[in-house]
């Protein structure tokens, strides 16, 4: 299928649609729909979005301490004195950090690994920010490491690797509880979740 809008040379619009179509969750058709919507709303949508992209690319920095992304380095979570210094929540990605912050139920520090261990994807311990985490445990007043990693094979093998690496260090290593999701209906849950929830049952 010809993706250009005409049979002539590639236009600025063709290039824009190609770039949009490569973004996660978008394809050729949704990219065209978005591009047309923007073209019909240049002043209100297209130009402000271009400015927001450039502003973000310029202003957002990676925190050298926790590897999150923020307008400042160190980030506002690392420098927030109202947050506990004793607990570090270890997450795979900045998206996971945002998901946890959205709940407003954690008031400690974070450490972003930048991925999970995966032989297939060539992600070994050197590719993740694990050494920096161990350095923080030894150099700071850390009492607890919460491994907030996905309940997948890669998430759990990364958790095991970090727990092993923390062996002998003066720190408690915990992980997020596994069980039924909030609002989960037993009939619709997978067998693994039910088994885990059953084995981890608590006294009422």
Question: Which residues here bind a second copy, judged by CB under 8 A?
Answer: 1-2, 5-8, 11-13, 15-16, 19-20, 22-26, 29-30, 32-39, 42, 45-60, 69-71, 76-77, 93-95, 98, 101-102, 104, 187-188, 191
Distance set, CA 48 to CA 14, 31, 42, 56 (Å): 20, 18, 8, 12
Neighbours of 155 (CB within 10 A): 19
* In the complex, least distance from residue 161 CB atom to a second copy, rounded to whole angstroms: 23
> Which residue lies nearer to a second copy by CB, 88 or 173?
88
* Residue matched to tokens 């920010």: 129
* In the complex, least distance from residue 18 CB atom to a second copy, rounded to whole angstroms: 8
* In the complex, least distance from residue 193 CB atom to a second copy, rounded to whole angstroms: 14
> Which residue lies nearer to a second copy by CB, 30 or 157?
30
* Residue matched to tokens 């058709």: 29
> Which residue lies nearer to a second copy by CB, 96 or 173?
96
Q: 37-56 burial, b for 16+ CB within 10 Å, e for fewer?
A: ebeeeeeeebeeeeeeeeee
């Amino acid at each position: 299928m010809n993706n250009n809008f005409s049979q002539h040379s590639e236009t600025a619009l063709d290039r824009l649609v190609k770039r949009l179509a490569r973004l996660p969750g978008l394809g050729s058709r949704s990219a065209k729909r978005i591009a047309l919507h923007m073209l019909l709303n240049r002043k209100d949508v297209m130009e402000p979005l271009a400015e927001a992209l450039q502003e973000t690319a310029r202003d957002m920095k990676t925190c050298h301490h926790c590897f999150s992304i923020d307008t400042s380095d160190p980030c506002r979570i690392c420098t927030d004195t109202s947050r506990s210094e004793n607990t570090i929540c270890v997450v795979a990605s900045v998206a996971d950090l945002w998901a946890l912050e959205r709940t407003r139920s954690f008031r400690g520090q974070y450490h972003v690994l930048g991925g999970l261990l995966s032989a297939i994807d060539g992600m070994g311990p050197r590719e993740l920010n694990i050494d920096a985490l161990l350095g923080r445990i030894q150099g700071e007043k850390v009492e607890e490491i919460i491994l907030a990693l996905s309940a997948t094979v890669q998430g759990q093998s990364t958790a095991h690797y970090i727990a092993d690496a923390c062996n002998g260090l003066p720190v408690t290593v915990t992980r997020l509880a596994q069980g039924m999701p909030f609002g989960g209906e037993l009939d619709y849950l997978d067998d693994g979740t039910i088994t885990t929830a059953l084995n981890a049952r608590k006294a009422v």
